[in-house]
């Protein structure tokens, strides 16, 4: 059925297509659709309570044993830095004035908890088939507990060095996240955005660097990208942006509008929304403050001071201060339910692979 069955065998899925975990837009409904289409159901847990995760897992599993991927962040939270927060607030002061907001009102804390002992216990309880990590890996004792719970472990690499680091620590597969990918970059051994490689260059170099299967991510929104990923040596693909247009995704209307009209050159990597580089559709705050700013406080706190601006702008119908995560291949995405989209990806990619080889 596929040129490479390492990932479909490892995860016990029909098609080598993983739903990218997207904190916010991705929930149980989107994951269920992908699973019904034969792909891997991923649930982004970084912003969810244990109770919510339990409930979502139960919805996704339904009446049958659906393989499921729980995704967690692994950043190291930095200590509070009031000076840096003040510097960021000061950088945004002109916008507070513009919207008539009180700059001295305390901003809401932004919480993106890294994987910890509590979440590890939940993993042991729920025993998902796959656990994926972003921004590196958790402490070795937690990683061992995940392994002992019978979960396959995967994580994102943005360089061949990061891939080797992950493989050396026992990851069962590596997600090679090319620079085209939307949302947060998983980079954890480097902070140099300028040297991040595109999917075309990254995937084969990661394939050559590790002996475990590689999952290609970044710039893949249709069958052509899937077939290309297999040509590059990947054993599967992880797709995010294209699933944002599914009716099951929880995407705010403004974000959806931006996605529908975005072209190949509509996005950039920015750190203004969270303090870490992530790819989104270029808007006013990215243009004027970023796309990369030296003034942002540590991840994930940058969003705190932006929240009042986001709320005020959105109330006026503007997405000028809203993160509009998107990869560079958004222009290829087609709107259909997640199950149908996954089945379409699979059948078109298989057809294309066959056609490419029948010369």
The binder of a second copy chosen from 33, 204, 240, 303 (CB under 8 A): 204
Question: Two tokens at 125?
Answer: 């309880």
Place of tokens 């959806």: 256
Compute the least distance from the CB of residue 138 to a second copy, in Å: 24
165 forms part of the interface with a second copy (CB under 8 A): no
Contact by Cβ (8 Å): 158, 181: no
- Candidates 171, 227, 258, 312: give the one binding a second copy (CB under 8 A): 227
- Our finding on whether 35 is near a second copy (CB under 8 A) is no
**Least spacing, CB of residue 196 vs a second copy, in Å:** 7
Angle at 213 between CA 334 and CA 76, to 5 degrees: 85
The answer to whether residues 266 and 76 touch, using CB atoms and an 8 Å cutoff, is: no
State yes or no: residue 186 binds a second copy (CB under 8 A).
no
Binding status of residue 191 toward a second copy by CB under 8 A: no
What is the closest distance, in whole angstroms, from the C-beta atom of residue 264 to a second copy in the complex? 4
Q: Which of 218, 216, 184 is nearest to 203 (CA)?
A: 216
Q: Which stretch binds a second copy (CB under 8 A): 96-104, 106-114, 215-223, 307-315?
A: 215-223
Among 116, 191, 264, 288, binds a second copy (CB under 8 A): 264
Give phi and psi for 69, each to the nearest 5. -115, 115
How far, in Å, CA of 227 to CA of 230, rounded? 5
Q: Give yes or no for residue 222 binding a second copy (CB under 8 A).
A: yes
Tokens representing 247 are 């009716």
DSSP for 94-122?
HHHHHTT--TTSPPPPP--PPP-HHHHHH
Query: In the bound complex, what is the minimum distance in angstroms from residue 277's beta carbon to a second copy?
Result: 11
Query: Could you give the C-alpha distances from 289 to 34, 91, 275, 320, in angstroms and in order?
Result: 37, 8, 12, 11
Q: Is 73 in the site for a second copy (CB under 8 A)?
A: no
Cβ atoms of 123 and 149 closer than 8 Å: yes
In the stretch 282-301, what mask flags binding to a second copy with x, by CB under 8 A?
Answer: x--------x----------
State in Å, rounded, how far the first CA of the chain is from the last one: 19
According to CB under 8 A, which one of 44, 128, 138, 233 is a site residue for a second copy?
A: 233
Q: How far is the CB of 115 from a second copy (least distance, A)?
A: 25
Q: How far is the CB of 240 from a second copy (least distance, A)?
A: 13
> Judged by CB, which is closer to a second copy: 307, or 356?
356
Describe the crossing of helices 223-231 and 338-357 by its angle, rounded to 10 degrees.
50
Summarize as ranges the residues that interact with a second copy (CB under 8 A).
1-3, 159-161, 178-180, 190, 192, 194-202, 204-206, 208, 218-222, 224-225, 227-233, 263-269, 282, 291, 327-329, 331-332, 350, 352-359
């Amino acid at each position: 059925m596929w040129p490479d069955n390492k990932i479909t065998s490892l995860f016990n899925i029909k098609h080598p297509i993983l739903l990218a975990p997207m904190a916010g837009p991705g929930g149980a409904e989107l994951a269920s659709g992908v699973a019904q289409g034969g792909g891997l159901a991923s649930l982004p847990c970084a912003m969810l309570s244990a109770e919510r995760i339990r409930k979502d897992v139960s919805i996704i599993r339904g009446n049958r044993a659906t393989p499921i991927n729980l995704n967690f962040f692994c950043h190291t939270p930095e200590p509070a830095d009031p000076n840096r927060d003040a510097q960021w607030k000061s950088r945004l002061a002109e916008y507070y004035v513009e919207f008539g907001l009180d700059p001295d009102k305390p901003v809401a804390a932004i919480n993106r908890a890294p994987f910890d002992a509590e979440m590890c216990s939940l993993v042991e309880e729920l025993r998902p088939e796959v656990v994926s990590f972003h921004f590196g890996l958790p402490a070795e004792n937690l990683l061992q507990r995940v392994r002992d719970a019978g979960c396959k472990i995967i994580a994102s690499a943005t360089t061949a060095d990061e891939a080797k680091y992950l493989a050396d620590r026992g990851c069962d597969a590596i997600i090679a996240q090319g620079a085209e990918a939307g949302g947060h970059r998983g980079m954890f051994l480097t902070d140099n955005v300028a040297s991040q490689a595109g999917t075309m260059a990254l995937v084969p170099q990661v394939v050559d660097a590790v002996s475990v299967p590689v999952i290609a991510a970044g710039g893949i929104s249709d069958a052509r990208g899937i077939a290309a990923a297999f040509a590059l040596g990947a054993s599967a693909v992880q797709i995010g942006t294209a699933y944002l247009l599914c009716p099951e995704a929880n995407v705010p209307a403004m974000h959806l509008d931006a996605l529908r009209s975005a072209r190949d050159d509509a996005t950039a990597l920015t750190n203004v929304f969270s303090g870490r580089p992530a790819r989104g559709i270029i808007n006013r705050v990215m243009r004027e403050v970023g796309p990369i700013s030296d003034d942002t406080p540590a991840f994930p706190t940058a969003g705190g001071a932006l929240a009042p601006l986001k709320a005020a702008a959105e109330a006026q119908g503007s997405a000028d201060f809203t993160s509009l995560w998107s990869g560079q291949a958004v222009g290829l995405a087609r709107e259909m339910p997640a199950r149908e989209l996954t089945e379409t990806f699979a059948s078109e990619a298989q057809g294309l692979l066959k056609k490419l080889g029948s010369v």
